[in-house]
């Protein structure tokens, strides 16, 4: 399949280079799920942010201004209030930002009601230990999806995410005013539309929407997710990994012959311990790991942790992704996944306890060759509890598959 479809996955980001990516995945989704729920724009915030300032006719300064702090930039891009003395304050008086803030307030309210509250309720009932401190969470094939890593494992000391999507430079919006600002913010809304609607990214869409230099790559997405999760960003450092997995500080993302990455340090509620998010741009195929072994060596130097796999394009069903599959099976204490992660036959039931939730029928048409009759039999035998949230390519809550594998 990989040869025919040229599938490349950046950690949960579906990338179909020769097949009109967005159209292909949307065609593969069930008909009733092929477009974002219209009510996402009508939702009323559950815990709305304070209303943005009333529009004024005050002109926006066009002279150069001091760079805004990382945290204020994150809040600005997320449509949330910023510091009173921030250089971004004049931009919050523009109608484009106020519309942007309203969009995200409504979208997150709907997301909270449809997805996030359901995940927290499910974990309270079935996996409360997932909310306890854990040294590291591996979310490979994730791209910039910190949103779901934080929802499933909110107390991790470190999160290690990976994908093929580049990191990009530090976002800077201080020199934008209408109408340029409107275009920049609209691109960000569009880039996040699929993950807010379907629970996963479509890589081609995101690469197109974030091709502007000032919002290029994954960092703007991380900014929004961290800010909307109530995190305070305290530091961002670009890194590179050599072939031994040793991290070196870089002045900009990437260097030839190394694995580029970024380290984001943040805190949650007042008094909470600092947490760290790592994201690396890397190819997780066997061939990619042979060419650039630094990423998995870096991971192997960390503790045994928990893992998350979601919308992973069934890549670890393929013979060319054995190394990363084996790494997760040997370095995970608890692994939460949908049916697109590791095939159920790869779990040695002498070593793993498996629990099932939701339902399992068949993969979407694009991945129909990866139907698992063994998994279907296990679902029939176990009568699993239903889910109140959707996950994976069959993102309807009535058709989603969720598997919890716990190492004995």
Q: What pLDDT, on the 0 to 100 scale, is given for residue 181?
A: 86
DSSP code at position 53? P
192 pLDDT band, cuts 50/70/90, is confident
Residue 58 lies in a domain: no
Tens-digit pLDDT profile for residues 79-101: 999 999 999 999 999 999 999 99
Euclidean distance between CA atoms 84 and 231, whole angstroms: 18
Euclidean distance between CA atoms 298 and 292, whole angstroms: 11
**Beta-strand pair 332-337/352-358:** unpaired
Phi, psi for residue 64 in degrees, rounded to 5: -55, 140
Q: What pLDDT, on the 0 to 100 scale, is given for residue 28?
A: 52
* pLDDT surpasses 70 at 24: no
Q: Please give the share of the chain, as a percent, with pLDDT higher than 70.
A: 77
Q: Which residue has the tokens 């996944």?
A: 337
Q: What pLDDT, on the 0 to 100 scale, is given for residue 52?
A: 47
Residue 48 lies in a domain: no
Euclidean distance between CA atoms 178 and 173, whole angstroms: 12
Task: Report the number of distinct structural domains present in the chain.
Answer: 1
Q: What pLDDT, on the 0 to 100 scale, is given for residue 184?
A: 86
Residue 40 lies in a domain: no
Residue 65 lies in a domain: no
Tens-digit pLDDT profile for residues 195-204: 676 655 555 5
Residue 47 lies in a domain: no
Phi, psi for residue 363 in degrees, rounded to 5: -65, 165
* pLDDT surpasses 90 at 45: no
* pLDDT surpasses 70 at 31: no
Q: How many helices (H) and strands (E) does the chain have?
A: 14, 12
Tens-digit pLDDT profile for residues 297-344: 999 999 999 999 999 999 999 999 999 999 999 999 999 999 999 999
54 pLDDT band, cuts 50/70/90, is very low
Q: Is 354 helix (H, G, I), strand (E, B) or coil?
A: strand
Euclidean distance between CA atoms 43 and 115, whole angstroms: 13
* pLDDT surpasses 50 at 42: no
- Cβ burial of 2 (10 Å; 0-12, 13-18, 19+) is middle
Residue 45 lies in a domain: no
CA distances from 102 to 109, 111, 194 (A): 11, 14, 18
Average pLDDT over residues 22-29: 49
Higher-pLDDT residue of 21 and 95 is 95
Domain holding 124, by residue range, is 2-35+70-407
Q: What pLDDT, on the 0 to 100 scale, is given for residue 186?
A: 85
């Amino acid at each position: 399949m990989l040869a025919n479809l040229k599938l490349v996955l950046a950690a949960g980001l579906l990338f179909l280079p020769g097949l009109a990516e967005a159209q292909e995945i949307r065609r593969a989704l069930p008909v009733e799920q092929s477009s974002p729920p219209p009510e996402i724009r009508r939702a009323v915030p559950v815990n709305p942010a304070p209303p943005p300032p009333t529009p004024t006719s005050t002109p926006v300064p066009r002279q150069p201004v001091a760079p805004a702090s990382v945290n204020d930039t994150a809040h600005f891009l997320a449509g949330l209030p910023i510091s009173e003395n921030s250089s971004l304050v004049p931009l919050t008086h523009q109608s484009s930002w106020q519309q942007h803030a309203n969009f995200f307030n409504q979208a997150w309210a709907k997301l909270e009601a449809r997805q996030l509250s359901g995940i927290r309720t499910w974990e309270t009932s079935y996996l409360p230990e997932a909310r306890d401190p854990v040294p590291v969470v591996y979310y490979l094939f994730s791209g910039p999806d910190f949103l779901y890593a934080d929802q499933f494992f909110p107390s991790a000391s470190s999160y290690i995410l990976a994908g093929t999507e580049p990191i990009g430079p530090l976002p800077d919006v201080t020199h934008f005013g209408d109408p340029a600002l409107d275009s920049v913010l609209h691109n960000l809304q569009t880039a996040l539309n699929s993950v807010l609607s379907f629970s996963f990214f479509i890589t081609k869409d995101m690469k197109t929407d974030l091709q502007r230099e000032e919002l290029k790559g994954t960092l703007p997405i991380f900014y929004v997710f961290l800010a909307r999760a109530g995190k305070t960003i305290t530091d961002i450092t670009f890194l590179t990994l050599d072939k031994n997995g040793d991290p070196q500080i870089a002045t900009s993302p990437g260097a030839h012959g190394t694995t580029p990455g970024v380290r984001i340090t943040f805190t949650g509620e007042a008094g909470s311990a600092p947490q760290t998010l790592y994201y690396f741009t890397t190819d997780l195929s066997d061939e990619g790991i042979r060419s650039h072994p630094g990423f998995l060596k870096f991971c192997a130097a960390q503790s045994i942790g928990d893992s998350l796999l979601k919308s992973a394009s069934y890549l670890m069903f393929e013979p060319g992704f054995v190394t990363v599959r084996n790494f997760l099976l040997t370095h995970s204490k608890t692994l939460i996944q949908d049916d697109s992660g590791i095939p159920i036959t790869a779990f040695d039931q002498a070593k793993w306890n498996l629990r099932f939730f939701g339902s399992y029928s068949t993969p979407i048409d694009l991945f129909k060759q990866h139907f698992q009759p063994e998994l279907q039999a296990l679902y029939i035998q176990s009568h699993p509890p239903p889910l109140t949230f959707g996950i994976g390519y069959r993102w309807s809550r009535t058709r989603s598959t969720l598997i919890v594998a716990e190492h004995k």
